[in-house]
Amino acid sequence: MKTLLLSAALAIGVYGAGPAPANANCDNATLHGTVAAALTKTSSGAPTATAYVESWDGAGHLQYQESDSQGTSHQTYFGTGTYQISKDCIATVYYDNATTNPYSYYVAPNGEGYWWVNNLNVGIVAAGHAELISRDLIVDPTATTPGPCSVSSLHGTMAWDAERTVQGAPQASDGFESYDGAGHLRYKQTNSDGYTTTTATGTGTYTISDRCVASVYYDGATVPMLFWVAPDGAGYWWINLQDSGVVAAGKAQRVSHELVLK
């Protein structure tokens, strides 16, 4: 009996444990497609917001579009970069022809995004997560072929939350937005400054370019919010560019294909 038990134990040890997990082995091809991120940060002690998309070609080159807001002014611009990804999945990234002070990113081995911190030591305190939104190279200001998005890309109900600064004071917000896929939306939102909570409801209109940039007008506003939309409609990354004293950016995620708000 002991011999049989020992043989069974050896068999489990040899055959039952399964293969050892493979080590990750990244290279430049690990990142191929378009990623997006949106966040608030501190620049020289002041709150600012940033949202961006980057298209990585899998061969060491990228193009990006970025918007930055200081609350009362903003900038939107395109740029380029080069990168090298080591086998242990760390990317060294140079933007806009820089040759010193590269960024260092921790890349997901499956290519679904990267994690970063601003390590340039120029007075900016910022870190975040850029998520893969498409295998297409969406960012290309000289493209002559249509991109993957249209107004129908946003259809369903999105949920979001954000901590922001309003006229210099901290505030938190969350809410639902229901998009009909034809340029109209409804929203419900809750705001809190820590002492008072308010709720707002309203409507809006939107357009989406073929390169997945949405311009969203709430409640008859003439200055839009800017979104970068995932082509499959699973989410969008937004920034407040209305220059009204609000510093805010974040991500909204689809929670239903139905229009929860009607």
pLDDT, tens only, 22-72? 677 999 999 999 999 999 999 999 999 999 999 999 999 999 999 999 999
Considering the domain architecture, whether residues 117 and 192 belong to the same structural domain is answered as no
261 falls within a domain: no
Q: Rounded distance, CA 204 to CA 257, Å?
A: 18
Domain assignment present for residue 251? The answer is yes
Residue 144 placed within a domain: no
CATH number of the CATH domain containing 57: 2.40.128.640
- CATH number of the structural domain spanning residue 191: 2.40.128.20
Q: What is the pLDDT of residue 24?
A: 77
Model-level pTM?
Answer: 0.89
| Residue 19 pLDDT class (50, 70, 90 cuts) | low
User: Given its phi and psi angles, is residue 76 left (phi above 0), alpha (psi -120 to 50 degrees) or beta?
Assistant: beta
Is the model's pLDDT at 149 over the cut of 80?
A: yes
- Residue 179 inside a domain? The answer is yes
Let me know if residue 218 belongs to a domain: yes
Distance between CA atoms of residues 252 and 161, nearest Å: 8
- Domain interval for residue 176: 151-256
Q: Report the pLDDT value the prediction gives residue 17, as an integer from 0 to 100.
A: 52
Select from 51, 244, 219 the least CA-distant residue to 166.
244
| Shared domain check, 165 and 128 | no
Q: How confident is the model at residue 2 (pLDDT cuts 50, 70, 90)?
A: very low
* Residue-wise pLDDT tens digits, 135-147: 999 999 999 999 9
Q: First vs last Cα of the chain: how many Å apart?
A: 71
C-alpha 187/C-alpha 200 separation (Å) is 8
Closest of 222, 172, 220 to residue 193, by C-alpha: 172
User: With pLDDT > 70 as the criterion, what percentage of the chain qualifies?
Assistant: 92
Domains: count for the chain:
2
Average pLDDT over residues 233-258: 97
